[in-house]
Structures are given as structure tokens and as C-alpha cells.
């Protein structure tokens, strides 16, 4: 790619603004999402999904690899606009955020969820979908 094209592409990408989540209430986090923001930290989601893009740009083995990919480290995806990017995980096997944090997290390595109440899980999901 010629440098001029790369610079133009870079400028275009930097000009893009995220689309507000339909899970926001009048452009703000709902009460559930506000509680979920606290759960996001409690469950240690914020250790990898950090910063303005909710990613540390690193590779982590969070136990989501299957078969020959078990034990593989994957890049931490941004959570911005995650509400419109289903399906989830590297192979698309998680249809919902609930699938990501519950069904596809049996060893509690992709967020520490096992000790959360159902209400906390729901608030966490609402928060993530609000990003």
C-alpha cells in the first residue's frame, strides 16, 4: 500500500465516531448499566478490557480456545459498539454476551463471574451492551 494511501486510510479511520448504543437511556447509562460498570471492575473484566477502547491490545489465554486451539492466547477485542458485533469469540460460537461470560467461561478465566448474583450478571451484560 503506498504511503499516501496508508495515510489517507489512517485519517479516515481516525475520523470515525462510534454509533451510540441503543441500550443507553437518553444518551446515558441506565441504572442497571451503572451498577454493571461496578461489576465490570469486580469481575476483573477491566483488567484486559481497559482504556477508551476497552482493550489492552495484548494476547491472553482466557480459556476460550477449543480443540487444537485450547490454551491459545487471543487478542482482547474492543468492547466499543459490541452491541452490534455478534456473534462473539474468535470463532463466533457465542451468540450473546451472556454466552461469552457464562456458557463460554467454565473456568472463570474470562471474567470472574461464578460468585456474582444473577442480578449482577444482568447488570454487567447491560453495561457491556451500553458501550
**Mean pLDDT, all residues of the chain:** 90
Q: Contact 124/23 with Cβ under 8 angstroms?
A: no
pLDDT at 69 over 70: no
Give the CATH superfamily of 3-130. Answer: Cytochrome c-like domain (1.10.760.10)
Share of the chain above pLDDT 70, in %: 92
DSSP string covering 57-73: S-EE--S---GGGTT--
> Terminus-to-terminus CA distance in the chain, angstroms?
33
Q: Is the pLDDT of residue 33 over 80?
A: yes
Give the pLDDT score at 34: 98
pLDDT value of position 28: 97
- Could you tell me the CA-to-CA distances from 40 to 13, 15, 70, 116 in Å, in that order? 28, 28, 25, 11
The alpha helices in 1-131, defined as continuous H runs, are: 3-15, 31-42, 97-98, 118-130
Query: Is the peptide bond between 70 and the residue preceding it cis, with omega within 30 degrees of 0?
Result: no
Query: Taking the model in full, what pTM does it have?
Result: 0.82
Domain range annotation of the chain = 3-130
User: Is pLDDT larger for residue 51 or for residue 63?
Assistant: 51
Amino acid at each position: 500500500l503506498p504511503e499516501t494511501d496508508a495515510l489517507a486510510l489512517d485519517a479516515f479511520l481516525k475520523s470515525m465516531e462510534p454509533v451510540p448504543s441503543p441500550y443507553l437511556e437518553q444518551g446515558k447509562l441506565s441504572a442497571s448499566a451503572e451498577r454493571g460498570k461496578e461489576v465490570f471492575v469486580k469481575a476483573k473484566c477491566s483488567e484486559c478490557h481497559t482504556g477508551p477502547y476497552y482493550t489492552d491490545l495484548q494476547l491472553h489465554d482466557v480459556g476460550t480456545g477449543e480443540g487444537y486451539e485450547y490454551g491459545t492466547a487471543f487478542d482482547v477485542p474492543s468492547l466499543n459498539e459490541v452491541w452490534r458485533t455478534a456473534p462473539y469469540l474468535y470463532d463466533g460460537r457465542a451468540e450473546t454476551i451472556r454466552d461469552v461470560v457464562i456458557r463460554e467461561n467454565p473456568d472463570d478465566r474470562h471474567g470472574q463471574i461464578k460468585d456474582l448474583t444473577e442480578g449482577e450478571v444482568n447488570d454487567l451484560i447491560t453495561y457491556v451492551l451500553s458501550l
